Every structure is written in structure tokens, then in C-alpha cells.
Copies of this chain bind each other. A is one copy, B any other.
Amino acid sequence: MILSMVGMPIKDRKAERREATKAEILDAAWDLVREQGLGGLNLRDVAARIGMRAPSLYEYFASKHAIYDAMFAQGYRQFAAVIAEAEELSGEDGLRAVSHRAMAFMVEDPARYQLLFHRTIPGFTPSPQSYALSVQQLDRTRAWFDRNGFAAPGALDLFTSLIGGLAGQQIANEPGGDHWVRLADAAVDMFLSYITAAGGTARHTRERTRS
């Protein structure tokens, strides 16, 4: 809005159309990675799916990696929205809500899970702007953990590994199923009893050297 100038219409129809087309391209790209796997994305198919030819895409994205980057950013905005709702709750209820929503978000789209939470595309690194979205999301959840007393060192990393690990196994071993998804509550039980144990603070920070 700051960029709009005197004498120009507030709503730039051209820019709007352009954004709509970019969104169409991204939708088609998501469809394709869901069908062919994250690495199977190719520009011809993306273009064909919206009635275009591959070269036309370059009017909207500078490269294939730029499309991946936009998908990465879009995915993290979706993730942020999903988690933000759950983080309106607090305490145990909040943690369970976050767990369920994060788990559902991950397993419902394996390709998106790979793009957002693993480094699986050779040569692709998210741009600083897109990467910042992931950092901000983690910061928000860190703050929520602090506000809710889940403040032990390593607690957040342990929790994200736990949920992400269950989702990863679900996706790798039984995509579309729910065997590991159903373990989410047990995982939260385990995490909660560990993190809220009296005198537990020293226990999980202690360095160990055995075996």
C-alpha cells in the first residue's frame, strides 16, 4: 500500500491478475508434487495443468527454484496459521492441540512435509525471506513454550523431534495411514510427565558419558 502513488488506482487490476496467475501456478505445482513426489516437479507439467506452455512461467517466476521457494514460504504461512490457532489454548490442552494439528498438517501432505522440514531437493535452499518465516514460526512456539512453563532446556527441540519423528515414520512406512499418528497422545503424555516432573529440571540437562 505504501507503494501506491497519487493518481494511481488503489487496486491495480494488472497486479491483481498477476498475483492470481502466480497463485494458479503454485496450486498446480502443489498438485504435481503430491502426485509425483517433491523431486518430480517439472515446468512443462505445471504449465500444461493451467493451459500454458513452460516458457510462459518465466513471466511469473525466475526459475524452478523460485517456485520451490514460493512453495516453501506458502507452506510455512499455512503451518503458522494452523499452529497459531492451537496456541490460543494453554497448558496441556494447548500442547495436545499443537501436537494434533502439527501432526495432521505434516501427514496430510508428505511432499510439503519434505519441503518444509527436510533438505531433500538437491541444490535448493530457501531464500533468506522464506527461511525467516520458518525461524519466526519456531520463535513463536518457543515463546508459547516459555509462557506455558515448558521452559526446560531442550524441551522445544525434544518436542519438535518427537512430533516430526512420528510424522516422518508415518509418511515413510504407511502413507495415508494412522498407526504413528495415533501414538501422538502417548508421546505427549510422555513429554508432559517428563517436563513437569518435580526436580526434573536438573535431570534432562545433565551431561552423560555412558556408552
Chain A residues with CB under 8 Å of chain B are 36-37, 39-40, 86, 89, 93, 96-97, 100, 114, 117-123, 154, 157-158, 160-166, 168-169, 171-172, 175, 179-180, 183, 185-187, 189-191, 193-194, 197, 203-208, 210-211
Contact = CB atoms under 8 A, between A and B. Distances in A.
A96 B169 contact: no
A120 to B, nearest CB: 5
B191 A208 contact: no
Q: How many copies of this chain sit in the oligomeric assembly?
A: 2
Contact of A211 (B100, B161, B172): B100
A114 B168 CA distance: 11
A197 B186 CA distance: 13
Contact of A193 (B86, B161, B169, B197): B197
B158 A190 contact: yes
A117 to B, nearest CB: 6
Contact of A165 (B164, B190, B206): B164
A158 B172 contact: no
B158 A211 contact: no
Contact of A89 (B161, B207, B211): B211
B164 A169 contact: yes
B204 A190 contact: yes
B186 A154 contact: yes
A35 to B, nearest CB: 11
Contacts of A194: 189-190, 193-194
